[in-house]
Amino acid sequence: MQILCLNCGSSSVKYRLFDWKAQKILATGIVERVAIGESFIAHEAHGRDKLILKRECPDHQTAIQLIMDTLAHPEHGVIEGVASITAVGHRVVHGGEKFAQSVLIDDAALDAFKKTSSLAPLHNPPNIMGIEAAQALMPKVPHVAIMDTAWHQTMPASSYLYALPYAWYEKYGIRRYGFHGTSFLYTAKRAAVLLKKDPFRCNLAICHIGNGASINAVKNGVSFDTSMGMTPLEGLVMGTRAGDHDPAIDLFIMAKENILPKDMDSILNRKSGILGITGKFTDRRDVEAAALQGDRRAAVALQIEGYRIKKYIGAYDAAVGGLDAVVFTAGVGEMSDKIRSIALEGLERLGIKIDPAKNQACRTRNAECNISASDSQVKVFVIPTDEERVFIEDVVAINEGRYDAHTRFTYQFQSPDYRNALRDEAYLKELVQKPQLASVACNPPPVKVL
C-alpha cells in the first residue's frame, strides 16, 4: 500500500509518499511560500540528494499539481504515475462538532467541510481544493480526512464554552474547537517518549509556531485547553492573524471606516498579526533579518509574538497543575531560537530554564532536541512535527477496520525504537555543516561516514 499524504496549510503544502508494507518513506517534501511569492518545492526521495525547484504557485491547486508532477518525474520521481498510489490522506482543519476523528471522504463529508469554510477561511478552502484535485487525479482510491479538531474533543466544557448566550452554542455550535490537532497528537506522544513516561501521565504546553500558531495545554495526555477558538483567529500573534484582542475594536473600526463584516474578517485573518505590525513581513526569517538591520517595527513584532507565547505558557502551567515539559514545534518553533528565547525568558520561577548555547544550536527540522538547562525542573524540547505520520497510520487503520480514538489506539511512533529514516539521513548530512547539533539531539542516529 502506497499512501500519499497532503497537508495544505495557509502558505504551504506538505506531502509524503509512504510504502506501508516496506515501512519506507519513498518521498517527502513541501511547497513553500504558496500565494505569497518566490514559491518553491523542496523534494526529498530516499537515497537521493534534496531537490529544490523554484516554481511560482499562486494557489494551492497549482502547488498540488507540482507535487504530482514531481513524484512522477522521470528523473526525480519515485512512481511511474498516479495509478501507483493506493490511498490518500488529507488534512482538514475544521470539522465543527460533526467530526470527532478521521473519516473516509464521501460527498456528505465534503459538503460538511465546505459549510465550515467560513470558520477557517485560510485553511478549509485549500484543504478542499486539495481533496478535489486529488480525487480528480485518483477517483478510484479511498480518500481519508484527518481532522485538526479531533484531538481537542477531550476538552472540558470549562475550556471550550464561551461566556456568551448559551443559545448560540445550541443553535450555531459557537464554542472553542482548537486546531493543529495532528501536530499536537504527534508531539505529545513523542514528548512522552523523551520523558520516558506513560503518555497519560504527562502535562505539557506544546507551542506549534508557524505562519499559523497555537498552544495546547495537555493534561494527563489529552487536550485540556488550547489558544485557538471557534476559528483559527483567536490566541497567539500569527503571520497574518490578529490573535487575542478586544472585539470592541473591530466594532469601533467598522463604524468609523464603514467596513463590512466580510472585509473586517479579511483584515483580521489576512492583514493583521506580524504583517499588520510590520507592514510588509509574515515570514519570521524576514522579520528577524529586518530587526537586525534596525527595523523598529520588526523588532517590536518579535517581542509582541514572544510575549504572547510566554503568557500562554504561564497560564497553562497553572491550568494543568504544573508542567513536565514545554515543547516547540512547526517551522518557527523548530527554527527560531530568537522567538523561543523571548518566549521563555523570565520563566525560571515556574522551573522553566533553557541553556542559551543549546537553544542557539537547535535549528533543525531533522532531530528531536533538548534545550533545557541542566538545572531546569521542566524539560524544554524542540520536536519536529510529523503530521503526515499521523495521517499515514490513520489511513491504514481506517482501511483495515481497526481505527479508534487516540486514547484507545497506540501509534507506531510511540515506540522508543521508532525511527524516521529520511530524517536520520538528512540529520547526518546536516551534522557535517552544524556539528553543534550533536550537543542537543536527544536520540540521534549513529554517526557514519557519508
Q: Crossing angle for the helix pair 107-115 and 124-137, nearest 10 degrees?
A: 160
Give the CA distances from residue 65 to residues 111, 234, 446, in Å, rounded to whole numbers and listed in that order. Answer: 23, 32, 37
Written as one letter, the residue type at 252 is F
**CA–CA separation, 77 vs 74, rounded Å?**
6
CB 101 within 8 A of CB 402: no
49, 111, 148, 386: which one is catalytic? 148
**CA–CA separation, 149 vs 354, rounded Å?**
31
- The C-alpha R_g of the chain, in whole angstroms, comes to 21
Could you tell me the three cell numbers for 216? 495546547
Reference 146, options 199, 189, 115, 184; nearest CA is: 184
Handedness of CA 318, 365, 334, 273 (dihedral sign): negative
CB 276 within 8 A of CB 242: yes
* DSSP-derived 3-state class of residue 418: coil
Handedness of CA 292, 53, 51, 129 (dihedral sign): positive
Active site residue 263: no
Which residues share a beta bridge with 147? 92
CB 367 within 8 A of CB 313: no
Active-site residue list: 148
